[in-house]
Amino acid sequence: MIPTTLRGFFTTSVLSVRENAVKNVIFRAATLLLQLFIVRTFTFIAARSNAYTSYLMFAEDFLQKFFYVTSRSFNRHALLVLAFAALGALSGLYDTLLWSLDSPGYVVRSKTINATSLSQDIVINPAYITYISNPTGNVNDIDTEGSIAANLFRSGLNFTLPGVNEPGVREIVSSSQLINNTGPRIWLDEDGLSVSVDQAVMVTTDAVCPIQTLTNTTQAWKCSFNNTDALLLVQTSTGNPEIFWDDQRSEYLLPNRMDNPWQSLGSGGDTAVMKQVFTVTKDRRRHTFIETAFKASMLSLYPAQFNDSDITDLIHRTWSSDPTQPITPDIQNLADYVIDAQANQSTVSFGIFVQEPYASISSTIELLNVINSASAVPLFSVFRITSTNITLIRSETLPQAPTPLYCRYDTVFSTNLATGGQLRGNTCYKSLNQTKASFVSQLDASAVVILNSLLGDGTSDTSAIAFNQTGWNWIVNNSNHIDDLLTSRGLIAGGDRAAVQVIVQHNEAAISYFQLLLTLLPALLVLIGAVVSLFSGPMSYYQSSFLAAVCTTTHMTPGKCQNVRYLRDPPEITLRRSGTHVLLSTPGEGTLTNVGADENVQTYGITEPLIYKDGSYSVND
């Protein structure tokens, strides 16, 4: 037996013919060759059976064939005509049979182009947020490529977003400002344009936690707060980039509360990851960043407290580069600090800022004991670990600056706000310094992806449930690929589309090896039939038309009448009336007529060969 894999390969369409028109020609040619084989086969049988009338019936229509078969009472010659008619009709369906064997009848061809070529296929208002969850609990069910590429191009375009982007030029400037004065910023121009992680994550309305500068690129803090400040810290959102336009004005890129789930997931006690590609444009200079914000939480309702082992385990698995290794003294010190704070029912926050040439990074650990502000009764505790990484990925100069939207103030600095490359509104500020030159600024959250349920349940008070290690491992292993895909989507929606490669698939008509075999089979049969006929003796009268036979036997053509050839100069035969008779008129005023055995034949007449009653005449005799 043929193995299933081999049988599938044999019957699956793999041989491209490019167009269905070509495929139709191939199948039709096979059908015509099969019909030719049938004609020649039955002609050979008729010649060997001396069934010349049956041979002539092959060229007649179905009705004449029917009359012939019934008039002969289904004798041997009649059955020959009947079989020819049946097989001839079935052979006409041979191409239909070949079409029915399509599986699937096409092959997929791919070519890589840049996204600029597909600008006309981009949907008018593409979604800028992708939400990836894992309700089945099986990370293998997650379709990252399909999720991030969805709702980007028009329906019907068969494409794949591979996450291949041309590397951009990253342009920064050196700054004379020290980190202890400015925090961990990415400096973009001499006037102070810079981007930083949120530097106010440890600030409340009643308290400011002092930050200590450890090195020229690192800062840290560790503070205790009153429990009355815990609710404000719980409500603080993670992952809000701060953009400094100059030395006087800054603003945050905040999630849109109308359509961005990170508005709520970024705060409180959820466990989630948010990645976004955003652009910062000042006049004609546009800078593109990618941000990753991570938050893992545990929550316990008063009077329950977190187990010491759960606190240690969560810190170990989130802060350690390899959670499978034993707990290090540094990790244990961090855990002991939180455990002691819980024993004292204190609210604490500690973390670090890191400044790199092209990145701004923060990491925090918080134990927040929320109380009723009126009665000071404890309500719940949140143990939260967060991290944010903002990295510059490309800088470019635009042909022209964005057009500022209308503001109601006369003298303002305004910022256009966009999502997915589409303007949504703006912010307007009164100028603080009339002597400063104004500029146009724009923020665009071009693409956002949020991963939530696969990381765990942040409302649980146990580390294993609050932070799913399997989901976290999947994110770590796929983080770079997700970044590439998100960058591609962000550049298509609100950046340089020419830098993004897109694989476009199209279908080409194809046939299988089985169809190819069936297509070549009629040609092989015709070839075999021709060889057999070549070595089977003369069949001239069975290989020519009735007109050629008549012209040869009546000597209207030169040459011997034993062999029928093609009529190079066919005689003109016309219909002529003679009284009530209709005659076939030949050149030279002759006619074709049937002469009986007892009738006289004039010497100038041209007639058919005589057929004597006492014997049959055959050209093969």
How would residue 605 be classed by pLDDT, with cut points 50, 70 and 90? very low
277 located within any domain: yes
Reported as a single tens digit per residue, the pLDDT across 199-223 is 999 988 888 889 999 999 999 999 9
- Domain count along the chain: 3
How would residue 233 be classed by pLDDT, with cut points 50, 70 and 90? very high
Q: Which of 450, 470, 490 is the last residue of a domain?
A: 470
Q: Kindly state whether residues 533 and 607 are assigned to the same domain.
A: no
Label residues 27-44 b or e (16+ Cβ within 10 Å = b). Answer: beebbbbbbbbbbbbbbb
Spell out where 89-217 has E strands: 106-114, 129-132, 159-160, 185-187, 194-196, 212-215
Helix, strand or coil for residue 17? strand
527 located within any domain: yes
206 located within any domain: yes
498 located within any domain: no
Average model confidence (pLDDT) across the chain: 87
Q: Kindly state whether residues 525 and 455 are assigned to the same domain.
A: no
How are beta strands 574-578 and 185-187 bridged, if at all?
unpaired
Question: With 80 as the cut, is the pLDDT of residue 611 above it?
Answer: no
Cα distances (Å, whole numbers) of residue 394 to 64, 69, 132, 400, 497: 82, 85, 26, 18, 13
201 located within any domain: yes
Output 8 or 334, whichever has higher pLDDT.
Answer: 334
pLDDT for the residue numbered 509: 93
Q: Kindly state whether residues 526 and 443 are assigned to the same domain.
A: no
- What is the Cα–Cα distance from 1 to 10, expressed in whole angstroms? 13
Structure tokens at 134: 């894992």
Q: Kindly state whether residues 458 and 560 are assigned to the same domain.
A: no
| CA 340 to centroid of chain Cα atoms | 54
Q: Kindly state whether residues 358 and 463 are assigned to the same domain.
A: yes
pLDDT for the residue numbered 603: 44
- What is the Cα–Cα distance from 158 to 141, expressed in whole angstroms? 21
Q: What residue numbers bound the domain in which 9 lies?
A: 1-109+506-537
48 located within any domain: yes
Beta-bridge partner residues of 505: 110
Question: With 60 as the cut, is the pLDDT of residue 541 above it?
Answer: yes
Query: What's the average model confidence in pLDDT over 318-342?
Result: 90
Output 610 or 257, whichever has higher pLDDT.
Answer: 257
187 located within any domain: yes
Reported as a single tens digit per residue, the pLDDT across 475-513 is 999 999 999 999 999 999 989 999 999 999 988 999 999
Say how many C-beta atoms besides its own lie within 10 A of residue 290's C-beta: 23
Among 154-163, 164-173, 389-398, 402-411, which is the least confidently predicted range?
402-411
Reported as a single tens digit per residue, the pLDDT across 453-484 is 889 999 999 999 999 999 999 999 999 999 99
What percent of the chain stands above pLDDT 90?
55
Say if CB 114 and CB 504 are below 8 A apart.
no
Q: Which of 489, 522, 537 is the last residue of a domain?
A: 537
Pick from 247, 332, 239: nearest CA to 292:
239
Q: Kindly state whether residues 608 and 532 are assigned to the same domain.
A: no
Q: Kindly state whether residues 304 and 443 are assigned to the same domain.
A: yes
452 located within any domain: yes
